[in-house]
Every structure is written in structure tokens, then in C-alpha cells.
Amino acid sequence: MNIIMLGAQGTGKGTVAGFISQEMGWPQISTGDIFRKNISEKTELGIIADSYISKGNLVPDEITVPIVKKRLAEDDAKNGVILDGFPRTIAQAEKLDEILAEVGKKVDLVINLVTPKEEIIERMLTRRVCTNQECKATYNTKLHPPKVEGICDKCGAPLKQRDDDKDPEAINRRLELYEEKTSPLIEFYKQKGVLRTETVSVAINHLGKDVADEVVRDIRGN
């Protein structure tokens, strides 16, 4: 099964994708993680990606699409994947359809996460991520803190705040960009009959783990 995570930054796409990946054994493919790894390693790709990401802009398709296509061709992606952060535009969605069609596959489910804007900003300012690129666990100092402050529960590596999570203005810019570029995908996938919208909010006590559990139960037919 091929799943896409939709939703503005800070809605919990990575959290939901991580839980589903753990339960179903399908790899979670995050273009953001791929770019951040290259940025931290100061590779040629990382330098190019950082010139866009640091300003709150999307990395161009001519860079992003080949990376996704290459990753989807790897052995662990043959039975299913969970895409987090791609596609972000209609053009990317159409390209993804082409890539999957080449191997007789399609997008089976699109999970669209919705969260109040004030909650998103608060979450991103309090988000912390594991510095171990093999782990990539995500925490929140208020909603989901680690057992030991600043240390990952899973692997013991230090946690850090992403550079793009530190500035409220940059966060607002990313949210505006999402509305402009990515929100049209909601209608695109709604027309295809594969869209599932879920509200993730402290206000209604419905968080990422709840969404993941519900999706896994439905996939398994329980």
C-alpha cells in the first residue's frame, strides 16, 4: 500500500507516519529528512537544498523528484511506502502518479491532517528531533517530552531544535507557502477518492497516535 501524508508543518505527519511504519513494516520516506541529512553532512545536494529551505521555500522539482524516484526503487519500498513531505504540489503529484504507474502501482491512501494554526506554531517551537539520522525520533517538550531532557528515548543520542523551527516568522512563511502550493492537493486527491481527513488537536484530545491506530485498524480490517 502506498500512503501519502498531507498537512501543514507541525500537524504531526511524521509522528503518524512513524507509527504506521512501525506497525505495518512499510518504510517512512521523508524528503525533509533526506535534505536535512545532506545539509548536516554539507554535501552538494545539502548546500543546494539549504539555500531554499533556510528561506522557507520549497526545493525545486528538478532536485526533489529524482531523489524520490530513486528512493521508491529501493527493495524495502516494493511492498508499500509512507511518503511524508512529498508531493507538495499538483505537478509533483502528477509526477508521482507517473513514477508509480511505471511499476504498476498507484497512490492508495492520502491522510490529510488538520490542526489549528496556533497549535501548529506552538508545536513547532517546542519540537525536538533526534540528531541520530538512523533514528530520527521526534519529541515535543510539552506534549511528548523525552524521559531524560535533551536525550532520545530510543537511541540515547542528543536532541536538537531544527533551525527552521526557531523563528515564528519563518514558521508563518512555511504555513503560507503550504496554503498556496500544497493545499490544492486536498482537492486533487479528494477527486481520486483516496483522501482521508483527520483533525489532530489537543483541544479535542485527538493526537497523532490516535490517528495512526485508527488507520492501522482500518488497513487490517479490524
Catalytic one among 88, 123, 136, 174? Answer: 88
Q: 162, 181, 196, 209: which one is catalytic?
A: 162
Cell of residue 134, nine digits: 538512523
Cα–Cα distance for residue pair 125/123, rounded to 1 Å: 5
Is 162 catalytic? The answer is yes
Active-site residue identified among 37, 69, 105, 173:
173
Select which of 71, 123, 127, 174 is catalytic. Answer: 127
Q: Is 128 a catalytic residue?
A: no
Rounded to whole angstroms, how far apart are CA atoms 121 and 123? 5
Instruction: Respond yes or no: is residue 127 known to be catalytic.
Output: yes
Does 88 qualify as catalytic in the annotation? Answer: yes
Amino acid 5 reads: M
Angle at 11 between CA 194 and CA 96, to 5 degrees: 40
Give the length of the chain. Answer: 222
DSSP 75: G
Closest to 18 in 3D by CA, of 135, 119, 125? 135
Question: Residues with catalytic annotation?
Answer: 13, 88, 127, 162, 173
